[in-house]
Amino acid sequence: MIPDMKFVATTCPYCGVGCGLLLAVRDERVVGVEPWQAHPINEGKLCQKGRYAHQFIHSEDRLKTPLIKRGGSFVPASWDEALQLIARRLSSYGPEEVFFLASAKATNEENYLFQKFARVVMKTNNVDHCARLCHSSTVSALAKAFGSGAMTNSILDLEEARCIFVIGSNTFEQHPLIGRRLVLARRRGAKVISADPRLTPTAKEADLHLPIRPGTDVALINGLVRRIIEGGWEDRGFIEERTRGFETLRETVMKEESTLPGTSRITGVPEGDIEAAAEMIATLKPAALLYSMGVTQHTSGVENVLALANLMMLTGNIGRPGSGVNPLRGQNNVQGACDMGALPNVFSGYQSVEEDGCRRRMKRVWGVEELGEARAGITSTEMMEILADRPGRMKALYLMGENPMISEADQNRVRRALDNVEFMVSQEIFMTETTELADVVLPAASFAEKDGTFTNTDRRVQRLRKAIDPPGEAMPDWEILSRLARAMGYGKEFDYRRAEEIFEEIARATPSYAGISYPRIEDPHALQWPCPGPHHPGTPILHVERFATPDGLGHFSPVEWRPPAEVPSEDYPLILTTGRSLWHWHAGSMTRRSESLDGEVETGWVEMNEEEAEEMGIRDGEVVRVSSRRGKIELPARVTSEIKRGVIFVPFHFAECPANRLTNAALDPVSKIPEFKACAARVDKLRGWQHPRGG
């Protein structure tokens, strides 16, 4: 043991896996990270991001004092001055004129308080967060199919699967400690299938790679469903006892486009591989499904997830260990931010803002007589649309830890939208491309500087523990919100001294969290919701005996394939798809300040097929221009055989070559998620560019 060193057990701030780690603290500085051996999910392992999670905490450019923009420049201000200004300005707007953008990086307590502030103080349901951009299609689709929009199974029981179907997820790079479970399952004999347009590290590890064309997921899944029915491999008992709507599903997949040749023509996957995948998924039981944003971020995102729910019900793979429909959540607390009601249509625990019973319950818990209208607010993507295209309708924007300038689709339009905001507040730990546009910036605490909870992708509610004080005058987001509410006349409703007091209120307000408390989640195994009472053990697997739908049955939803909003054309002959790098996270504000992570991958790139690159005379490493109908960026080419012809890939973390300048903001009609994963694009050589290696 190093003298004067203490270790604080907490939760990784990056992805939704929710690994446990120990922050090594000496002299009020976090000097390192150790994996938490006793933690059930990561069992003493961490990926690169977790390993270096401390490196951004003490960055020189942390925000340390409130800033107010005067004459176009930010000047430091006192907390009183900043909060009084915000209180005065927010009070001048009506409920329809304000929008609150919460954060999947912030704690449950902070997201709960954020939506409470919007609903109690500002009387608006205009609150949302970045789940809109990643898994809103999951929430809509699984609520319809199963009555609950969360991951059905646990990370731990993946090892019991005999087949794991991974679609639209590069699990090894995006959720590495779930990737480890795939390896362990394979060692126990499981077969892994990966459907992805790229030969990712996950696809390389798989027994079968289905090189699917972006935007053809429904066609592939309907093809698998048809082949399973033709083979007589469906689970008749499960279908009859636990589901309804099978006959309409069967009729839908009897069309020509779901035959093996039809499916192959649309998806680009060889017929034999479709047949092999169908047989493996249906006959190797239990089979688990893992998917992520390659499935959800489409104008057909809800239909894609409905099709996957069909597939897993058809094969009886719900409600038992090693099976299930498992959406892998991106950010550390995106599940929690949804659970806490940082959404326009629900309070915490998915209680509808339109139902009288839910409204009465919230008024009682919050001790208020009035809430805003009993009508869902607008989504964050609709908010951007209104700001960009109908200036003057929406006036104020309040952000907590979000950077839409990098994370939203069609960046030029986002810039136009944010320029149209009359008054903008941002709580952040660093200046970002978005805070630069704000009127007031409030310095927030990082994950190491506050207490709270995060809920990971398998619904596990875990503790975040304070290791050090925040720098300068920065404070936790929950404390900022409490102070602001008090400045706006809501003293008793927002009177909290510790994060734990907020959590106790969450348990009172939220049936699925009712039995969870800080003492009960001291143990690293924590608790998985639903946990309805103080002695309930939590729920590792959902829908074991009945689904959460009103009739208790799983609902098949016949869906038909339709192409993405934008398809390749003469001018834009390629399909651009986007994603993450192993070494970076989201908009990069934390990982790009980590010398170890940023040193490994310093900027973005475009991955392109080697045959197409050769036809265009483009060499590996050459800087090229990538354009779409919305803009252009310049970045180095990575020429590889590991991506399908006709497809290019750009990671979206890098402000100097932002993929989201190119992506399409067309929305799924139900979930309002943009189509990040498929738009028409082109690659051009730059005239006069000299390769450093010559030639």
The H-assigned helical ranges of 466-529 are 477-487, 499-509
Which residues, other chains included, contact 308 with Cβ-Cβ below 8 Å and sequence gap of 6+?
A: 167, 221, 289, 291, 295, 325
Number of amino acids touching ligand SF4 (CB under 6 A): 14
Report the distance separating Cα 365 and Cα 348, nearest Å: 12
**Shortest separation between residue 50's beta carbon and ligand SF4, angstroms:** 2
* Contacting range for ligand SF4; rule: CB under 6 A; set: 46-54, 157-165, 205-213, 587-595: 46-54
Report the distance separating Cα 51 and Cα 510, nearest Å: 34
Q: Based on CB atoms, which residue is closest to ligand SF4, 16 or 319?
A: 16
Name the DSSP letter for residue 441: E
Give yes or no for a contact between 368 and 347, defined as CB atoms under 8 angstroms apart. no
Report the distance separating Cα 615 and Cα 417, nearest Å: 39
Q: Based on CB atoms, which residue is closest to ligand SF4, 176 or 341?
A: 176
- Member of 63, 102, 120, 177 binding ligand SF4 (CB under 6 A): 177
User: Is residue 540 within the footprint of ligand SF4 (CB under 6 A)?
Assistant: no
- Member of 32, 147, 149, 176 binding ligand SF4 (CB under 6 A): 176
Give yes or no for a contact between 395 and 97, defined as CB atoms under 8 angstroms apart. yes
**Shortest separation between residue 417's beta carbon and ligand SF4, angstroms:** 30
The residue whose Cβ lies closest to ligand SF4 is: 50
**Shortest separation between residue 585's beta carbon and ligand SF4, angstroms:** 7
**Shortest separation between residue 529's beta carbon and ligand SF4, angstroms:** 19
**Shortest separation between residue 24's beta carbon and ligand SF4, angstroms:** 16
Report the distance separating Cα 455 and Cα 123, nearest Å: 27
**Shortest separation between residue 165's beta carbon and ligand SF4, angstroms:** 21
* Contacting range for ligand SF4; rule: CB under 6 A; set: 17-25, 85-93, 181-189, 383-391: 17-25
User: Is residue 47 within the footprint of ligand SF4 (CB under 6 A)?
Assistant: yes
**Shortest separation between residue 451's beta carbon and ligand SF4, angstroms:** 19
3-state secondary structure of 107: coil
* Contacting range for ligand SF4; rule: CB under 6 A; set: 157-165, 174-182, 476-484, 662-670: 174-182
Phi-psi region of 86 (alpha: psi -120 to 50; beta: other; left: phi over 0): alpha
The H-assigned helical ranges of 120-216 are 131-134, 136-146, 171-174, 176-187, 201-205
User: Is residue 524 within the footprint of ligand SF4 (CB under 6 A)?
Assistant: no
Which residues, other chains included, contact 196 with Cβ-Cβ below 8 Å and sequence gap of 6+?
A: 166, 167, 168, 169, 170, 202, 203, 209, 210, 211, 212, 294
Q: Based on CB atoms, which residue is closest to ligand SF4, 14 or 478?
A: 14
Report the distance separating Cα 612 and Cα 573, nearest Å: 11
Q: Based on CB atoms, which residue is closest to ligand SF4, 46 or 514?
A: 46
Report the distance separating Cα 326 and Cα 21, nearest Å: 24
Q: Based on CB atoms, which residue is closest to ligand SF4, 50 or 268?
A: 50
Give yes or no for a contact between 485 and 494, defined as CB atoms under 8 angstroms apart. yes
- Member of 23, 36, 42, 524 binding ligand SF4 (CB under 6 A): 42
Residues between 242 and 301 with contacts to ligand SF4, criterion CB under 6 A = none
User: CA nearest 194: which of 184, 183, 182, 202?
Assistant: 202
Torsion sign across C-alpha atoms 299, 300, 306, 312: negative
**Shortest separation between residue 179's beta carbon and ligand SF4, angstroms:** 8
User: Is residue 56 within the footprint of ligand SF4 (CB under 6 A)?
Assistant: no
What is 144-167 written as a DSSP string? HHHS--S-SS-SGGGGG-SEEEEE
Give yes or no for a contact between 559 and 666, defined as CB atoms under 8 angstroms apart. no
- Member of 9, 10, 17, 338 binding ligand SF4 (CB under 6 A): 17
**Shortest separation between residue 46's beta carbon and ligand SF4, angstroms:** 4
Q: Based on CB atoms, which residue is closest to ligand SF4, 18 or 515?
A: 18
User: Is residue 18 within the footprint of ligand SF4 (CB under 6 A)?
Assistant: yes
In this structure, which amino acid lies at residue 488?
M
**Shortest separation between residue 332's beta carbon and ligand SF4, angstroms:** 7
**Shortest separation between residue 177's beta carbon and ligand SF4, angstroms:** 4
Residue identified by tokens 């002299």 is 27
**Shortest separation between residue 164's beta carbon and ligand SF4, angstroms:** 17
Report the distance separating Cα 432 and Cα 168, nearest Å: 29
User: Is residue 49 within the footprint of ligand SF4 (CB under 6 A)?
Assistant: yes
User: Is residue 12 within the footprint of ligand SF4 (CB under 6 A)?
Assistant: yes
CB atoms inside a 10 Å sphere around CB 129: 31
**Shortest separation between residue 42's beta carbon and ligand SF4, angstroms:** 6
User: CA nearest 238: which of 289, 278, 282, 304?
Assistant: 282
Q: Based on CB atoms, which residue is closest to ligand SF4, 148 or 331?
A: 331
Q: Based on CB atoms, which residue is closest to ligand SF4, 74 or 583?
A: 583
User: Is residue 50 within the footprint of ligand SF4 (CB under 6 A)?
Assistant: yes
- Member of 22, 23, 46, 353 binding ligand SF4 (CB under 6 A): 46
* Contacting range for ligand SF4; rule: CB under 6 A; set: 169-177, 287-295, 629-637, 641-649: 169-177
Report the distance separating Cα 542 and Cα 150, nearest Å: 9
**Shortest separation between residue 33's beta carbon and ligand SF4, angstroms:** 9
User: Is residue 15 within the footprint of ligand SF4 (CB under 6 A)?
Assistant: yes
Give yes or no for a contact between 171 and 178, defined as CB atoms under 8 angstroms apart. yes
User: Is residue 14 within the footprint of ligand SF4 (CB under 6 A)?
Assistant: yes
Report the distance separating Cα 668 and Cα 453, nearest Å: 31
Report the distance separating Cα 385 and Cα 485, nearest Å: 29
Q: Cα separations (Å) of 591 from 143, 184, 198, 456, 669?
A: 34, 28, 24, 20, 33
**Shortest separation between residue 331's beta carbon and ligand SF4, angstroms:** 10
Q: Based on CB atoms, which residue is closest to ligand SF4, 132 or 175?
A: 175
Binding site for ligand SF4 (CB under 6 A): 12, 14-15, 17-19, 42, 46-47, 49-50, 175-177
